[in-house]
Amino acid sequence: GAVVSQHPSWVICKSGTSVKIECRSLDFQATTMFWYRQFPKQSLMLMATSNEGSKATYEQGVEKDKFLINHASLTLSTLTVTSAHPEDSSFYICSATRLAETREQYFGPGTRLTVT
Amino acid sequence: DAKTTQPPSMDCAEGRAANLPCNHSTISGNEYVYWYRQIHSQGPQYIIHGLKNNETNEMASLIITEDRKSSTLILPHATLRDTAVYYCIVVNFGNEKLTFGTGTRLTIIP
């Protein structure tokens, strides 16, 4: 159990367009979902924390108007990269913690975004 | 959260035990030690965590020193599939956020 999926697994978009990435907990209800970004040969950096039904909390330096996060249910969170630019090209990874078991984070497989 | 220090890379022969050290000298009493790993181009995978007692599960063992200032993750019989970056992370009780450092790149040698 505790499977997290992401869709799409990779996406190529043109500069100026918006891209939506979905994160789903397949077999459990997630109290909290997290969004990370990872540039090549670097570590994961937390972008934001989201709880179902409430606004996401963004880390310092992450533009909330550029990276829109919606957490509409206990099994789905979406990240929309608005007006994407080449510097937004990265590996985006989500994770989720289980209801009543908040210690471990279960990670999705990641989404590779390339902005041309 | 307390900062951790790990060696940037390690090699281990296939079939041998891989021992990955982590220093967390500023850890406080309500902080746990977590280990995750990331295989290339995949999302991280939870391995194990502990507070002060040694822990073992089907993947690994975690040895935490008595003063809790350091710990060692042990993969008892390393396989080629254990090649990954291993992250040691200290997490405050009640705070779910993970702060990833640079980790240790473990390479299992055939």
The answer to whether A105 faces chain B, any CB pair under 8 Å, is yes
Q: How confident is the model at residue B69 (pLDDT cuts 50, 70, 90)?
A: very high
- B41 Ramachandran zone, left/alpha/beta (phi>0; psi -120 to 50): left
Close Cβ partners of B33 (under 8 Å, ≥ 6 residues apart): B22, B24, B27, B49, B50, B51, B62, B64, B68, B71, B88, B89, B90, B91
Confidence check: pLDDT of A102 > 60: no
Confidence check: pLDDT of A100 > 70: no
Tally the C-alpha atoms within 13 A of residue B59's C-alpha that lie toward its C-beta.
Answer: 12
Contacts of A108 in chain B (CB under 8 A): 43
Report residue A12: phi and psi, to 5°: -120, 130
**pLDDT tens sequence across B4-61:** 999 999 999 999 999 999 999 999 988 999 999 999 989 999 999 999 989 999 999 9
Q: Do B44 and A93 touch (CB under 8 A)?
A: yes
Q: Do B102 and A103 touch (CB under 8 A)?
A: no
Q: Greater confidence, B1 or B83? A: B83
Q: Do A46 and B97 touch (CB under 8 A)?
A: yes
Confidence check: pLDDT of A38 > 70: yes
Task: List the structure tokens of B10.
Answer: 């390690």
Distance CA A42, CA A2 (A): 26
DSSP letter for each residue of chain B: ----B--SEEEEETTSPEEEEEE-TT--TTEEEEEEEE-TTS--EEEEEESSS-EE-SS-EEEE-TTSSEEEEEESS--GGG-EEEEEEEEETT---------EEEEEE-
Q: How confident is the model at residue B97 (pLDDT cuts 50, 70, 90)?
A: confident
Q: Do A46 and B102 touch (CB under 8 A)?
A: no
Q: How confident is the model at residue A101 (pLDDT cuts 50, 70, 90)?
A: low
**pLDDT tens sequence across A63-77:** 999 999 998 899 999
